[in-house]
Amino acid sequence: MSLRRPSALLVPLLAIALAVVGATPARAQVLGPVQGLPNVQVPGVGLPRVIPATPLRSVDDLLRGSLALTRKLQIDALRRSEPRRVDVDPHGAPILRGEFLAMGLSDAQRDAVRALGFSVDRATPADATLGLDFVVLHDSRHRSTARAMRALQRAAPDATFTYQHLYLPAGHGDLARTASSATPSSGAAARRVGLVDGGVDPTDPALARTHIERHGCSTPNPSRHGTAVAARLVDGDPDTLYAADLWCGDAVGGATSNLVDALAWMARERVAVINISLVGPDNPVLARAVQAMIARGHVLLSAVGNDGPAAPPLFPAAYPDVIGVSGVDAHDRVLPEAGSGDQVDFCASGVVGSGSGSDALRGTSFAAPIVARKAAGLLDAPREGAAAQVQQHLAGEARDLGRPGRDPRYGDGLLSP
């Protein structure tokens, strides 16, 4: 995938545009107190805000106010709040400290890795379901991330080692209230649809008619982000929602191995369409899992993220055959923070509520489930070639926006509920 860098003239123009947007009444873009970060100066805002170093308690703390405007702020908050658990890889992506993933280890190589102080925490159910051969490794000697990775690569140079990356939610706003006041659709056929996110609150009025199958946690731990995305995904109908929780009430979650495990569960349950409103880096284990899901006939839809149009592509939206979704405002203008590039296939409303005030939510997180819901209406079970067929059908429904034809901001166009 080739990416064009913005011209020298475009960069200052983008900065000016973002500054102007920050001055509008849309509260989710106005920089206010951010938990976990002290005294941050954010581009486009005249004065730094004093930000209390309050520990993060759950995934929802990553989504308050302007904290989720970029992944950088989310990552900084996690590192500051959980320095013993969260680190970054050489590219600045968040990882679980001391945890690594390995593919293709022989028995002898496992023994060699163990001799160096790494425990093989568990084999994963994805092995049998998706045909993946990977394990989770933990460094019992508490080496730096770089030293631990070098030790692994020396022990098994022909194996594949990667980091235990953390994937973050792609939406933000004041999450004091949940996101939907959806009313039941008359005569709508019930769908089976999957959600990989935070926990879902079954008592939310928007989910009153939904049957929820849970995965990932021993006890329910609802999150407002997961509940908000779920509300848009089922839209008040009597659907069956397969909801995988990657946080389980913890501030640190979204680990690669748990995301892969969630996909394997969806595969075993034959859930045809799966919404993933999370973003993160390319990871070889996740890439293999996504490839396996597509080959098995599942359709994956993912938010493209909120790091802005000049940011590099985020995953899983940028993987081949994953349907990447951007967001627009109430006037069908692309959200200025939305990602841009070849990974954008469609756009949908990324604003929930009035766009201002205490119930405002925005981000590509909330656009993706609109498109996923439409896809679920086209596919009731996985089948070969489904991803390409569903994307082609949706392209025929989409309303062209932006430049004529497909473009990197709107993709093939707008899909409405």
Instruction: Please state whether beta strands 118-123 and 134-139 pair in parallel, antiparallel, or not at all (unpaired).
Output: antiparallel
The answer to whether residue 2 sits within a structural domain is no
Do 102 and 223 lie in a common domain?
no
Most confident of 17-26, 138-147, 216-225: 138-147
CATH number at residue 207: 3.40.50.200
Q: Of 12-16, 90-94, 211-215, 410-414, where does mean pLDDT reach its minimum?
A: 12-16
User: Among the residues of 299-404, which ranges form H helices?
Assistant: 368-376, 386-397
> Residue 123 has which token pair?
């084999």
Do 154 and 174 lie in one domain? The reply is no
CA distance 295 to 290: 9
CA-wise closest residue to 221 among 247, 249, 202: 249
Percent of the chain with pLDDT over 90: 71
Which structure tokens are listed for 254?
A: 């979204």
Q: How many domains does the chain have?
A: 3
Are residue 156 and residue 189 in the same domain, yes or no? no
Is the pLDDT at 53 greater than 70? The verdict is no
Indicate the burial class of 5 (C-beta count within 10 angstroms; 0-12, 13-18, 19 or more): exposed
User: Confidence class of residue 124 from pLDDT cuts 50, 70 and 90?
Assistant: low
Between strands 211-215 and 192-197, the pairing is unpaired
- Look at 8-22, 72-86, 237-251, 314-328 and tell me which has the smallest mean pLDDT: 8-22
Looking at the fold, whether 254 and 291 belong to one and the same domain comes out as yes
Q: Are residues 137 and 189 in the same domain?
A: no
CA distances from 37 to 70, 132, 251, 355 (A): 14, 38, 15, 25
pLDDT of residue 18: 42
- Answer whether residue 330 is part of any domain: yes
What are 203-241's pLDDT values in tens digits?
999 999 999 999 999 898 999 999 999 999 999 999 999
pLDDT at residue number 330: 94
Same domain membership, residue 317 and residue 190: yes
Q: Give yes or no: residues 233 and 158 share one domain.
A: no
Query: 382 preceded by cis ω (within 30°)?
Result: no
Domain-ending residue, one of 119, 140, 165: 165
**pLDDT average, residue stretch 306-335:** 96
Does residue 402 fall inside a structural domain? no
- Whether 104 is covered by a domain: the verdict is yes
**143 and 201 share a domain?**
no
Same domain, 266 and 179: yes
pLDDT at 58: 79
Contact 67, 74 (CB under 8 A): yes
Of 31, 55, 81, the last residue of a domain is: 81
Stretch 75-92: mean pLDDT: 95
Q: What is the residue-averaged pLDDT of the chain?
A: 84
Whether residues 104 and 180 fall in one domain: no
Does any domain span residue 180?
yes
In a domain, 403, yes or no: no
Q: Which of 57-61, 105-109, 114-118, 273-277 comes out lowest in average pLDDT?
A: 57-61
What confidence score (pLDDT) does residue 172 get? 67
Residues 387 and 243 placed together within one structural domain of the fold: yes
* pLDDT, position 111: 95
Mean local confidence (pLDDT), 84-106: 96
Asked whether residue 125 carries a pLDDT value surpassing 50, the answer given is: yes
Distance CA 146, CA 177 (A): 41
Please answer whether residues 109 and 92 qualify as being in contact, where contact means their C-beta atoms are separated by less than 8 angstroms: no
Task: Indicate whether 411 belongs to any domain.
Answer: no
Considering 35-39, 126-130, 178-182, the range whose residues carry the highest mean pLDDT is 126-130
Q: Give the whole-angstrom CA distance, residue 316 versus residue 322.
A: 7
**Pair (192, 326) in one structural domain:** yes
Say whether pLDDT at 63 is over 80.
no
Final residue in a domain of this structure, among 139, 165, 191: 165
Please state which of the ranges 123-127, 169-173, 318-322, 371-375 shows the lowest mean pLDDT: 123-127
Which residue from 94, 95, 102, 96 is spatially nearest to 118, judged by alpha carbons? 102
Is residue 289, in this structure, part of any structural domain at all? Answer: yes
Q: How sure is the predictor about 412, in pLDDT bands with cuts at 50, 70 and 90? A: very high
Reduced to 3 states, what is the DSSP secondary structure of residue 145? Answer: helix
Q: What is the pLDDT of residue 187?
A: 54
Please determine, for residue 265, whether its predicted confidence score (pLDDT) is greater than 50: yes
The domain containing residue 338 runs over which residues?
A: 168-397
